[in-house]
Amino acid sequence: DAKTTQPPSMDCAEGRAANLPCNHSTISGNEYVYWYRQIHSQGPQYIIHGLKNNETNEMASLIITEDRKSSTLILPHATLRDTAVYYCIVRVGGSQGNLIFGKGTKLSVKP
């Protein structure tokens, strides 16, 4: 499985965009990039995923570089409730793709 590297922590001002980077230089062609987050004491929550193209949903945008070796999760207008640990996971799809969580990035949104 491709390994991911994320900064251990980041700060963001409330109302500003939060840009969370993830390196996955060994990603293979059939592996997707997934983002989850875990707000304190809650279960992990799916945010977004992508293969090659940039993706956007109601929660966030995912920007994947053309060589697919890195990606950025963008929360366009961070709120205090976005304070959480964000996990970037690279994995194949289907039944063989059980998610393995790393250490993630602790995002602190500050007033």
Partner 1 sequence: DTAVSQTPKYLVTQMGNDKSIKCEQNLGHDTMYWYKQDSKKFLKIMFSYNNKELIINETVPNRFSPKSPDKAHLNLHINSLELGDSAVYFCASRVESGANVLTFGAGSRLTVL
Residues that bind partner 1 (CB under 8 A): 32, 34, 36, 38, 41-46, 49, 85, 87, 89, 91, 93-95, 97-101, 103
Judged by CB, which is closer to partner 1: 21, or 97? 97
**How far, in Å, CA of 87 to CA of 60, rounded?**
14
DSSP 5: B
Q: Name the minimum Å distance from CB 16 to partner 1.
A: 26
Q: Name the minimum Å distance from CB 77 to partner 1.
A: 24
Judged by CB, which is closer to partner 1: 41, or 66? 41
Judged by CB, which is closer to partner 1: 14, or 102? 102
Judged by CB, which is closer to partner 1: 21, or 32? 32
Q: Name the minimum Å distance from CB 15 to partner 1.
A: 28
The distance in angstroms from the start CA to the end CA of the chain is 38
**How far, in Å, CA of 25 to CA of 28, rounded?**
9
Q: Name the minimum Å distance from CB 93 to partner 1.
A: 5
**Beta strands 70-75 and 84-92: pairing type?**
unpaired
**How far, in Å, CA of 36 to CA of 13, rounded?**
21
**How far, in Å, CA of 83 to CA of 62, rounded?**
18
